[in-house]
């Protein structure tokens, strides 16, 4: 009997629904046992968010600073496949998911084990995934597949609807002209087909072109404008703001409140003003960057790290 571990942290329950659907092909058979491990911060992040708390997690998310977690009960800690399911906060893995990768348990369970990453995000995730690829490699794990479920709304629309979702806790429509927030029910149900693909490869004990097939089945889609913007914004903007805020103190420190507030004003400005300007530049220069864009689409669709290419 093969042992599958699904590690996850979900605030709203969206990612929980995703993992349950993904795991369906592995359930109700004598060939597999599925262990669901819900990562639990000692002090959890409340959902829905208040504006102050939402922006206060920015520096620790961007700088990958872990929080304290409760120890998970993982039995004999011996698994044949790990599914690491995470959401993205500020182009970084959510703090609880990232924190797990710093634990001694992670050091023990990832070593020499095949890993699938399963993401439930809005639409900006490639920077977070690059970090996770490196982290899994450092832990001795073997990343064999990546599946990304995303909000399909157009970028600016998605920002409005996810804000409603995050601050109200409701995923429904908040005005007739806006779509429902988050990942669609159809995509959440549809993730089962990726579970089936992974199961077939797992049964054959050969993961060689698993990711290629997942990409063919549309498990990952790269939007070159978003991946370009994301990489630039993370490096040139996010890391600078995070360090600037951290100089004043850690999570919730009153001394950093003013800086967090200024960032909270800057953030929508960057999204609503700077990002559309960047989009125009992206379109103008895209014809001259076609080769690079194609290379990036191929790279970010895959599971290998740049140095191993």
Ligand X SMILES: Cc1cc2nc3c(=O)[nH]c(=O)nc-3n(C[C@H](O)[C@H](O)[C@H](O)COP(=O)(O)O)c2cc1C
Among 34-42, 116-124, 265-273, 276-284, the segment contacting ligand X (CB under 6 A): 116-124
Closest approach, Cβ 52 to ligand X, in A, equals: 12
Which position among 25, 60, 115, 122 is part of the footprint of ligand X (CB under 6 A)? 122
Among 12-20, 104-112, 253-261, 263-271, the segment contacting ligand X (CB under 6 A): 12-20
Closest approach, Cβ 269 to ligand X, in A, equals: 16
Residue 57 interacts with ligand X (CB under 6 A): yes or no = yes
Residue 4 interacts with ligand X (CB under 6 A): yes or no = no
Q: Compare residues 211 and 227 and give the one whose CB is closer to ligand X.
A: 227
Binding mask 130-169 for ligand X (x = CB under 6 A): --------------------------------x---x---
Residue among 79, 82, 166 nearest 121 (CA): 166
Whole-angstrom distance, CA of residue 24 vs CA of residue 20: 6
Closest approach, Cβ 255 to ligand X, in A, equals: 21
Residue among 203, 223, 201 nearest 211 (CA): 201
Among 10-18, 107-115, 135-143, 185-193, the segment contacting ligand X (CB under 6 A): 10-18
Closest approach, Cβ 80 to ligand X, in A, equals: 26
Residue 125 interacts with ligand X (CB under 6 A): yes or no = yes
Among 82-90, 196-204, 235-243, 298-306, the segment contacting ligand X (CB under 6 A): 82-90
Residue 87 interacts with ligand X (CB under 6 A): yes or no = yes
Residue 97 interacts with ligand X (CB under 6 A): yes or no = no
Residue 124 interacts with ligand X (CB under 6 A): yes or no = yes
Among 65-73, 83-91, 105-113, 201-209, the segment contacting ligand X (CB under 6 A): 83-91
Residue 22 interacts with ligand X (CB under 6 A): yes or no = no
How far CA 122 is from CA of 181, 193, 304, in Å, comes to: 9, 21, 23
Residue 90 interacts with ligand X (CB under 6 A): yes or no = yes
Q: Compare residues 126 and 293 and give the one whose CB is closer to ligand X.
A: 126
Supply angle C-alpha 26, 31, 36, rounded to 5.
45
Residue 81 interacts with ligand X (CB under 6 A): yes or no = no
Residue 12 interacts with ligand X (CB under 6 A): yes or no = yes
Closest approach, Cβ 304 to ligand X, in A, equals: 22
In the sheet that holds 32-38, the strands lie side by side as: 32-38, 2-8, 81-86, 114-121, 142-150
Q: Which residues bind ligand X (CB under 6 A)?
A: 10-12, 14-15, 54, 57, 87-91, 120-125, 162, 166
């Amino acid at each position: 009997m093969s042992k599958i571990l699904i590690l996850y942290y979900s605030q709203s329950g969206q990612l929980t629904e995703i993992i349950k659907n993904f795991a369906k092909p592995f359930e109700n058979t004598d060939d597999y046992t599925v262990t669901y491990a819900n990562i639990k911060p000692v002090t959890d992040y409340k959902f829905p968010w208040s504006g102050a708390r939402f922006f206060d997690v920015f520096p620790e998310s961007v700088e990958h600073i872990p929080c304290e977690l409760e120890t998970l009960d993982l039995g004999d800690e011996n698994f044949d496949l790990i599914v690491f399911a995470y959401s993205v906060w500020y182009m970084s893995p959510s703090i609880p998911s990232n924190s797990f990768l710093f634990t001694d348990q992670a050091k023990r369970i990832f070593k020499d084990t095949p890993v699938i990453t399963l993401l439930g995000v809005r639409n900006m995730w490639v920077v977070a995934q690059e970090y996770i690829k490196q982290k899994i490699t450092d832990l001795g794990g073997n990343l064999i597949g990546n599946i990304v479920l995303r909000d399909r709304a157009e970028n600016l629309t998605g920002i409005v609807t996810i804000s409603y979702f995050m601050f109200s806790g409701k995923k429904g429509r908040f005005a007739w002209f806006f779509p429902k927030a988050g990942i669609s029910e159809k995509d959440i149900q549809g993730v089962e087909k990726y579970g089936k693909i992974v199961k077939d490869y797992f049964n054959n004990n050969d993961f060689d072109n698993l990711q290629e097939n997942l990409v063919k089945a549309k498990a990952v889609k790269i939007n070159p404008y978003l991946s370009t913007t994301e990489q630039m914004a993370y490096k040139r903007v996010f890391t600078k703001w995070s360090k600037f805020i951290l100089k004043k103190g850690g999570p919730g420190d009153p001394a950093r409140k003013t800086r967090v507030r200024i960032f909270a004003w800057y953030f929508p400005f960057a999204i609503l003003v700077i990002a559309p300007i960047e989009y125009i530049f992206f379109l103008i220069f895209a014809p001259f960057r076609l080769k690079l864009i194609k290379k990036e689409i191929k790279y970010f669709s895959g599971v290998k790290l740049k140095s191993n290419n």
